[in-house]
Amino acid sequence: MHGPAWVGWLLVLLCAGAGAYCLSSVRRGTAAQRREARGEALMGLGMAAMALPASAVAPPSWWPWVFAAVFGAAGLWALRRRHPHHAVGAAAMVYMSLAMPAVGGGHSGHHLGAAGPGGLPVLTGLLLAYYAVYIVAAGVRLAPAGAWRPAGAPGPADRARAAWPEVVGACRVTMGIGMFAMLLTL
């Protein structure tokens, strides 16, 4: 990704932490929650690998195509399972992997042709808008109910028992922020 190396390292830490948490939670919850955790873990760890600064690890020239293949398959799987957000995330990962600068040869060409840094501006802008709305909406869902809690909604004691879904929601917000930052530095 473009930008300062420290931004890349912060993205690596953010995404790897969220991905590792989701990977650790694959054994908990219902079957649907475990499937969701596997998808989130793949996305977080893939984002961490993609955000590695090129100055730290020089990936081979075929590396973007591996990302495109893995996340293309993940996107098709998400569509099959009717998870539109995961499908958009996988498509964004495929897009970013193909917009990465070509490795080797000392030139800064891009796989998406003459689009230049950042890929195709319209597509990058649409993905940035999607993730901005997603981050705000997911963040609002995490806000404590407090005084504005509707009648019949769980109170603080009930919410403590349901902490796992809140942490998964926080991971989603974290990875959404990471995806937004990766698109900005593309």
| Confidence at residue 22, expressed as pLDDT on a 0 to 100 scale | 84
**Residue pair 55/2 in contact by the 8 Å Cβ criterion:** no
Helix axes 5-24, 31-51, angle to 10 degrees: 160
Provide the whole-model pTM: 0.78
Domain ranges of the chain: 5-184
* pLDDT band (50, 70, 90) for residue 102: very low
CA distances from 62 to 66, 69, 74, 98, 104 (A): 7, 11, 19, 11, 10
Yes or no: say if 87 and 78 are a contact pair by the CB < 8 Å rule. yes
Predicted confidence (pLDDT) per residue in 6-40, tens digit: 888 998 999 999 889 888 877 877 888 788 888 88
pLDDT bucket at 143, cuts 50 / 70 / 90:
confident
Mean pLDDT of 123-137: 95
